[in-house]
Amino acid sequence: MKRKIVFLTGTRADFGKLKSLISILDSSNLFDVHIFATGMHMDLKFGFTVHEIEKCGYKNIYKYINHDHGASMDITLSRTIEGFASFIHLIKPDLIVVHGDRSEALAGAIVGSLNNILVAHIEGGEVSGTVDELIRHAVSKLSHTHFVANDEAKRRLQQMGEKEESVYVIGSPDMDVMLSDTLPTWQEVAANYEVPFNDFAISMFHPVTTEVDNMDEYVENYIKALEESNTNYIVIYPNNDKGSDFILNKLKRLQNNRKFRLFPSVRFEAFLVMMKNALFIAGNSSAGIREAPYYGIPTVNVGTRQKGRTNNPDIIHTGYSKKEVLDGLLKAKSATIEPQFLFGDGKSDEKFFDAVSKNSFWKTTTQKSFFDAVLV
């Protein structure tokens, strides 16, 4: 009998992380794969990216709208729990797979743990700024198995009382796509997305939920710095966290500026090609911390959103003032860095498949205990 596995995805970013894992299981006759698509995937304002999931040809895609305009994160969480609970009671999966630190992942872990269904958490054990870190660690404590990016993340999970044999180091799954030989060419991406320039940087600036009262000022300073840097930019809309409206309103003034090309969303493979060919990436996206170093692309990391997530000395960290950001942008334009491989070798999907194909994995108990780790 096939094992039934549900992947829960709420954003273009986490789908990019999960895609290689979904595909390798979906191509096997050992598993019955389902996808629960919600969150930003179902929002027209952010590109209705469920279409990107559908283009992959997966058979079992369940779509659920978990929010409306202005809904707070706690209300969105409660709606996701309700919708996902109804779904899993209907299909009765053997495993729920969630990723990262979004409220959708927390909903999936809550539903799984309360229904004695195995939960696998992808990329737990990491640190980041804002409320995201609290959510990530809560998801880890509600999950039964963990697939992490590196040994450092594994050690953190052991510090949190997770037993060593439940933690699998597989690398970061997006590296599977980054290091593949199937990415489109820059010429194909530029033509498809109608990018009018070849010399450009990428901008991705997300709201910081714990600093929402200052977000309007921060994004104003950030955009002024972009405008004064005399650089072409591909700008990708923020996520839909509280405070995103401040950013979207400020971005409107760039729509008729020929040095800027704005997109609500970009397909993950196309985004990687854009980044690979960019002068640098600016903002506060984890892409600047994780993916950009693989391609040797400089990063200007603005503010606190990624605080503590890396000690990479090549990343240019700035505060929120216009001068600090502009200085960082100008420094990045002339920076050169060597590629760094910190999150795996591009074979996360194979390691994930190997783990869930073993009978021992399915003997994991849903009755968790805290394990006191002796760490050296």
> Under DSSP, is residue 14 helix (H, G, I), strand (E, B) or coil?
helix
| Nearest Cα to Cα of residue 364 among 112, 98, 103 | 112
* Residues of the chain above pLDDT 90, percent: 81
pLDDT of res. 107: 98
Domains of the chain with CATH codes:
3-176+345-363 (3.40.50.2000), 186-333 (3.40.50.2000)
Write the pLDDT tens digit of every residue in 280-311.
999 999 999 989 998 999 999 999 998 877 77
pLDDT of res. 264: 94
The DSSP string of 146-213 is EEESSHHHHHHHHHTT--GGGEEE---THHHHHT-S-PPPHHHHHHHTT---SS-EEEE----GGGGG
Write the pLDDT tens digit of every residue in 342-354.
787 889 999 999 9
Residue 18: enclosing H or E segment and its boundaries? helix 12-26
pLDDT of res. 128: 77
Quick check: 376 pLDDT over 60?
no
Mean pLDDT of 136-157: 96
- What span, in angstroms and rounded, lies between the C-alpha atoms of 272 and 278? 10
> Under DSSP, is residue 237 helix (H, G, I), strand (E, B) or coil?
coil
Write the pLDDT tens digit of every residue in 226-243.
999 999 999 999 998 888
The CA-to-CA distance between both ends of the chain, in Å, stands at 42
Q: Whole-number mean pLDDT of the chain? A: 93
| Nearest Cα to Cα of residue 149 among 290, 245, 4 | 290
- What span, in angstroms and rounded, lies between the C-alpha atoms of 76 and 117? 22
pTM of this structure: 0.87
Residue 245: enclosing H or E segment and its boundaries? helix 244-251
pLDDT tier at 54, thresholds 50, 70, 90: very high
Structure tokens at 88: 């899993």
Quick check: 105 pLDDT over 70?
yes
Mean pLDDT of 203-223: 95
pLDDT of res. 204: 98
Quick check: 194 pLDDT over 80?
yes
Mean pLDDT of 317-331: 98
What's the distance, CA 256 to chain centroid?
29
